[in-house]
Structure formats: C-alpha cells, structure tokens
Structure 1
Amino acid sequence: MSVVAKLEECRAQIRTELDSVVDFWLRHSHDAVHGGFFTCLGREGAVYDELKYVWLQGRQVWMYCRLYRTVDRFRKPEILEAAKSGGAFLRKFARVSSTSGQWKCAFCLTRDGKAVKIQRTIFSECFYIMAMDELSRVTGDKDAQLEAEQMMKQLIHWVRVDSSDLGRPQLPGDVPTNSMAVPMMLLCLVQQLTEGRGQEMALKYRELGSWCVKQILQHIQRDGTAVLENVSLDGAELSGCQGRLQNPGHALEAGWFLMQYSAEWGDEELQRTAINKFVELPFQNGWDKEHGGLFYFLDVDGHCPTQLEWSMKLWWPHCEALIAFLMAYSQTKKPELLESFSQVYKYTFSHFPDESGEWFGYLTQEGKVALDFKGGPFKGFFHVPRCLYMCERILDDLLANKA
C-alpha cells in the first residue's frame, strides 16, 4: 500500500472515531437542569458522580467551540448551545475570591455550582482562559475575551512574580522547582490568545512565549539524553525521586507545542530540538519493548518509580504521541517519523477505543482494561477529541499536497 493510501485509510478511521466520540459526549454529558457537563461517565455513558471538575468543564467548552468554529460537519446548533451553556456555568460558578481579593478558580464544584475544593495550582485558571477565549471567537462576546486576558495577566503574576496568593508559602526545606507543566501550559495559552488576532496581540505575548520556551528547554538533561519532568529554577538536575522523574507523555506534548511555536516564528533550530529531544527521545525511552505502549512514568536511573500507576498505559500520552509524530512528519517528511506514528497508531487503536463509544483511559502494563469508565475526575472531553481533530487536520493538509 502506498503512503498516500495509508494516510487516506488512517484519516477515514480517525474521522469516524472523532464523530463517535463527539456523539458519546453529546448524548451523555450535558446537564440540562443546571448547565455544564457531567464528566464521570461509565462505560455506557451513565453518570456515576455528579461533581463537576473545572479543568474538564473548561476543556469541554474549548473543544466544542474549536470543533464548531473550524470543522464544517460540527457546525451544529446543539454543539454551539452546549458550549454556551458550559461557558455560562463556568462564568457564574468557577471563580471564587481568594484571600487577596483576586479571582481563583475552584477545582471541583457540586452539580449546582457550589465550590467543593480549590487547588494551590494554576491549572483550573488555565482551562478557564482557554474556554473563554475560544468561546469569544464563536460568539463574538468581547467580555469573554477580556475575562480570558485578565485571568492571563493574573496567571503570569502568580508564575513569574509572586505565587503566595496561590496559598503556597515557601517552606524552609522546600526547593523551588521548574515543573515542565507550568511553562507548557503558559505556552499553550500564548498560542491560544494570539491565534489569528493580529500583530499587536502576537507582540504582546512575544516575550512570555520566549520565556516559556527557555523554561521548557531547561528540562533537557543528562547531556541531551533525557527530558526530566522537574528541574531547579536555574535549570540544574534535582536530587531524589522528583529530580529523576520522566513523564514521556508530557515530553511528547511539549514537543508538539514547541513545533507549533517554531513553525509560527520560523525557528528551524527549535524545530529540530523539539523533534529530536521532545518527540523521538521520550518515545525511545518510554516505549514498552515487551508489551507495547508508553509507560506513564519512568526513573532516569532505572529505579522503580514511586507512582503506583507508573507502568500503566494511559490514554492521553498515546494521544500526545499521535499528534507529535504526525506533526513532525508533516513538517519534515522523514519516513522514520511516519513509521513511529504508525507504531503508536496501531497500539492505540487496538487497545483504547470501545464499541460502546469513546475510549478506555487506563490499561494495565499488559494492555488490559484496568478501569472501564469513559470519563472521570481527570478524563473528560479533551485529549481524545483534540488528538483526533488535530490528526485529521494534519492529514487533510498532507493529502491536499500529495506530491
């Protein structure tokens, strides 16, 4: 079979799968009484817990809006109305006032919007920003865009100036850490807020984008042989389990963020680094040679990681790998990158999708289903549809330029 034929076959399967996943969440996750979305869904879609997680509410609003805005077949009234309903729920309930008087987003809400838990991190705010900005693009609501930019300003202050308002005082034994998740998410938000908004907006966040890239590149350690999840603020390796931790899925996600950024700014050196160090390297280190699939966590020195789920195969690292390898191939046309994509594709589509709709999220090391729910506190309408959506678009571009 020719490369073009393989890509066409792959695109057809991805398109069918995306339609199925969207249908699953449209049928089972909407709360018609209070607004927002149920995310704790069993194998067949039954709601088993009514708590609403702000990360996942924001992600679902963003995903619906992005599909509605950019894919003709998803420009349906029910998708737009669901996005607007989810956005209204977030704006009404997600933000709670912190001790300093600033807005902080809750991590978890009751079904009718009462705050249950607040985390001392920035990630609820990150997905609130993504949701509001994308919602503003499909509704024309300038207030939503303004809210996104105001929250972004506060987020930058927490990360780069003063994190005390997050409720995380500096303790004497604690070592300040550059966790890769933080600059990754900020870079994602820079790309979200600036996409298609003109030169002025691009320049507004240019310095922040450059800072994020530098922070991410600090995670290349061991003379370029490993990407570590946590390093010191000055880019040195940390001691102990925290310092030795590798998260292949996170590195792969950072890889395609960096590839997008390098394409936007024409930075060929960054593109090479993104592919070599953040895509190929974590894949080589993280792929299970015996059973297939990507390990969740690894210890760079070969010790057993302390995370109990370290050897499991989770849905989202495989989603990130599919995006990363297909994007890398589309930018370079190197056959070995397409071969790696095919390797991940075969494992992913033979293990995670389910005939009842959507994907299982948690497999054993051997690839058996460990948890059979389709949505939970951390798995919602995001990684699977984002992966399928992005892969379909990349394949569209590749196949439109077959030569």
Structure 2
Amino acid sequence: MSKLKQLKSELSAELDSILKYWSKHTIDNQNGGFIGQIDFNEHLIANAEKGSVLNARILWSFSASYQITKNEEHKKLAERAFDFLSKYFYDSELGGLFWSINVDKTPKDTKNQIYALAFAIYGLSEYYAISKEEKALDIAINLYLQIQRHSYDPANKGYLEAFSRDWKLIKDLRLSDKDANEKKTMNTHLHIVEAYANLFKVWRDNKLQSDIIELLETIEEHFINTENGHLRLFFDEEWNEKPDVISYGHDIEAAWLLLQCAEISEDEKLIANYKKHAIHMAEATQEGLDKDGGLWYELDPKNNELIAEKHWWVQAEALIGFYNAYQLTNDEKILDIVYKNWKFIKKHILDKQNGEWFWGIYSDNSIIKKDKAGFWKCPYHNSRACLELIQRIEIESK
C-alpha cells in the first residue's frame, strides 16, 4: 500500500473513531441535545451550560461526515443537533443566536457573537445539503441577513464582533479571555467567509456571492501580512492594527480555507491570489514546526517568546494546510511534513484509551488536562481534517 493510501485508510478509521466518541458519550438523554462539558477525566458535567458554537460544530461535523460515511446514525445525530439549535439557540423573536443556554434550555448568555452566528450558518447549510430541510436553509439565510444588517461596516468594510440580544453594540467584544477586546478580528472574519461560502454552495444568491468576494478582498488587504506570510489578528473599527501574537494554527487554517472560499466564489483573480497566499502562509507556518512534527501554538514576536503548547486543533489544521500546499506545489518535502505531523498526532494527541483527541501537550510532552468536550472542544477541526484529506487523496488517486 502506498503511503498516501495508508494515510487515507488511517484517517478514515480515525474519522470513525471521532464520530463514535461523540455518538457514545455526548448525547444528553436527560435534557436534550448534547452534553455541555466532559472534563479531562471523562466526567460528564451534568449542569454545564451549553454553547452555541459547540452545537453548531456538532451539526456541521455529523452533516459533513454523512456525505462520506452514508451512515444513517450520523444523519440522525445531525438532525438532533439541528432540532436543538433551531428550538433553543436560535432567537426566533429577534433573529439572532444565543451564545449559551442553561441545562434546562433557558437562555443564559443572550449576546449575538457574530462568530457564533457564522458557525450556525456553516452547520445549517451543511445540514441542508444532506436533508433538504427548508427550515435549516431559512434560518441560515436569516442569520446571514442579520450579520449583513447589523455587523457589516459600510463605511470601512469588514464586520464588527458582537452585539446585545437586541443588536446594540456591547463593550466586551471578546470571544474568550485570551483575545484582545477589539472591534474587528481575523478569527471572526475567517469564519464568516467560511460560513458564507458554505451557504453559497446550497443557495446561489448573487448578493451573497458578491459579499464573499468583498470579504476575501478585505481579508487580503488587512489580515494577511504579505511580507512575512502570517496573519494580523486584531484591528479597531478603522483598520488600525493592534499587534498581537503570531498564531500558527490560524495561519495554516487560513492558508487552505481562504483558497477554498475563493474557489467557491468563482472569482478567478481571487483564486490566483489565494493560491499564492496558501503557499506563502504554509511556508511561514513552518517556522512553528517542532522536530517531532508537531506545530506549536503561538509565538509572541515582541518578546520572541514561544507559547510552548501543541493544541489538537492546530495539528488538525496543519494536516489540511500542508497537504493543500503539497497539492499546489507537488513538493514532496511538504508532503513529508503531513506524514510527520500525523505521526505526531498518533503518538501524542489521540486518546487511545477513551477516544477523541487530547486538548494538547506541553513542551515536555505532558498532556494539557483540559476538556474532552466543551465550549471550545468539539469534533469540527479533527473530523474536518480527516474528511478533507480522505477526499483530496481520493481525487488525487483517480
């Protein structure tokens, strides 16, 4: 068996393993939907709040996987995620999405974090692709229209981060404690364009297409540092940069994902530009590779200080980003990075005893003891890495 076929075979088995974990351990039979948190020790936190991002990512993962596996159980779990999101996270009254709900299904944090709306669109459009459930498409379109109505900045372009339930600007715009409190962020823009592109695949709307094209142009102008191949992360409303860390995981994720969005947009100039960016950003990300094949989390360039952790999602995006760069260049050295990174994942990140992936490891290879499932720990990055490579290798081998 060739190395590529072997890789595809192993990733197919790993996709099955990831989906089995989420099928077996995360269904909340008592309260509906999915468990809000499973800690490092595999303890279910029964009263944990449930996050909209986790639910939307579960919806995407099972919907996307069903297109490959044709496993009816995966379709049923996608339907479960859709039902729960549409009933309890979607704010049918004011047209937004609750950031989190209590275990009894009542709203907890009612802010409209645009990042979460984007993931809902991403999951809903993927679910529509497998179900043709019109309600899923209707909610996705409505969330897109709400983002355009409230978050889009007509004066300077780009999108603002967060609003109250009734769409007023709020002071704390951050996704999480580690983020800078700024009005425009790379992370949110990346996931808006990802969501819009996925929606365009099932809803061929001309205005949506032009919004994707403008967004890709905005990202190219402001977020991609064409000198060094890294991303700029935080800006104020008028595009004054607030310098921060180099995020290797986001660099390599954006490298392949933005090219995919450009291809979906069908804009030839953007496709050509983003092919160049994909190669350049993959080259720049190699600075963050360790000799064991793992990709470090972040670098603080001001102090030249490495955040010496190797997180699960960073490795998942590295698999796709470097494989994408290999496809664009046919450079076998880049393919070797993919093999080495997968070897690292198998050795250090896969939880061989309980399933799923550990949060990550520290520089001494000790495990980071954080959630196995939770607000930010989901099946989206790792299932997507498996799905992308399975499909790309399949096409290459034909």
Give the structure-2-normalised TM-score: 0.85
Q: Helix, strand or coil: the match of 1:227?
A: coil
Letter in 2 for 1:334: D
| Other structure's SS at 2:130 match | helix
Which amino acid in 1 is paired with 2:299? L
Match of 1:37 in 2: 34
CA distance in 1 between partners of 2:229 and 2:394 (Å): 34
Alignment match, 1:244: 244
1:230 aligns with 2:204: no
Shift of 1:322: 0.5
Contact 1:178/1:215 (<8 A) preserved? no
1:388 deviates by: 1.1
Answering whether residue 84 of structure 2 is matched by residue 86 of structure 1, we say no
| RMSD of equivalent CA atoms | 2.7
Give me the whole-angstrom Cα distance separating, in 2, the residues matched to 1:232 and 1:300: 20
Aligned to 1:259: 259
Query: 1:334 aligns to what?
Result: 331
String of CA shifts for 1:62-112, please: whole Å, max 9, x gaps: 1111112x11x3422x22222212211111111347xxx733322222223
| Rounded Cα–Cα distance in structure 1 between residues aligned with 2:263 and 2:86 | 34
1:395 Cα offset (Å): 1.3
TM-aligned CA deviation for residue 170 of structure 1: 10
1:316 is matched with which residue? 313
Q: Report deviation, 1:231.
A: 4.1
SS for the counterpart of 2:218 is helix
Report the secondary structure of 2:45's partner residue.
strand
- How far off is 1:225 after superposition? 5.2
Tell me the matched-pair count: 376
Q: Would you say the 8 A contact 2:129–2:202 is kept in 1?
A: no
Give 1:298 shift: 1.4
Give the conservation status (yes or no) of the 8 Å contact 2:255–2:278.
yes
Contact 1:178-1:231 within 8 A present in 2 as well: yes
CA distance 1:116–1:233, change in 2 (3 Å): closer
SS at match of 1:191: helix
Where structure 1 has 5 or more consecutive residues not aligned to the other structure, the ranges are none
Aligned partner of residue 346 in structure 2, secondary structure? helix
Equivalent residue, structure 2, for 1:208: 211
Summarize the alignment of residues 2-401 of structure 1 with structure 2, pairs less than 5 Å apart.
5-42=2-39, 45-51=42-48, 52-68=50-66, 70-71=67-68, 73-76=69-72, 78-96=73-91, 102-119=94-111, 121-161=113-153, 165-168=167-170, 177-197=183-203, 200-201=204-205, 203-217=206-220, 218-221=222-225, 223-224=227-228, 226-231=230-235, 237-238=241-242, 243-264=243-264, 265=266, 266-267=268-269, 269-281=272-284, 283-288=285-290, 293-304=294-305, 310-355=307-352, 356-371=354-369, 373-400=371-398
Q: Distance in 2 between matches of 1:226 and 1:91?
A: 37
Change (3 A) 1:54 1:27: same
Partner of 2:157: none
Cα distance in 1 for residues equivalent to 2:39 and 2:70: 25
Cα distance change of structure 1 residues 79 and 170 upon mapping to structure 2, 3 Å threshold: closer
Q: Is the 8 A contact 1:183 1:215 kept in 2?
A: no
- Deviations along 1:122-162, whole A, 9 cap, x unmatched? 12212222222222222222122011101111112333138
- Quick one: distance in 1 between partners of 2:382 and 2:246? 22
One-letter code aligned to 1:345: W
Deviations 1:190-224 (A, max 9, x none): 21111154xx42x3322211222123222233833
CA distance in 2, matches of 1:222, 1:65: 35
Per-residue deviation, 1:312: 1.4
Q: 1:212 to 1:23 in 2, by over 3 A?
A: same
SS in 1 for 2:368: strand
Deviations 1:319-360 (A, max 9, x none): 111011112222432223212222322222221012121111
Contact 1:55 1:127 in 2 (8 A): yes
Give the residue type in structure 1 aligned to 2:188: V
Q: Return the offset for 1:180.
A: 0.7
Q: 1:387 to 1:222 in 2, by over 3 A?
A: closer
The aligned amino acid for 1:75 is N
- Taking only the aligned residue pairs, the percentage that are identical comes to 21
Gaps (5+ residues) in structure 2?
155-159, 174-179
Change (3 A) 1:11 1:113: same
Tell me by how many angstroms 1:32 deviates. 2.3
| C-alpha separation in 1, matches of 2:226 and 2:380 | 33
Instruction: Check 1:252–1:115 CA distance in 2 against 1; reply closer, same or farther (3 A cut).
Output: same
- Tell me how far apart the structure 2 counterparts of residues 166 and 123 of structure 1 sit (CA, whole Å): 16
Q: CA deviation at 1:40?
A: 1.9
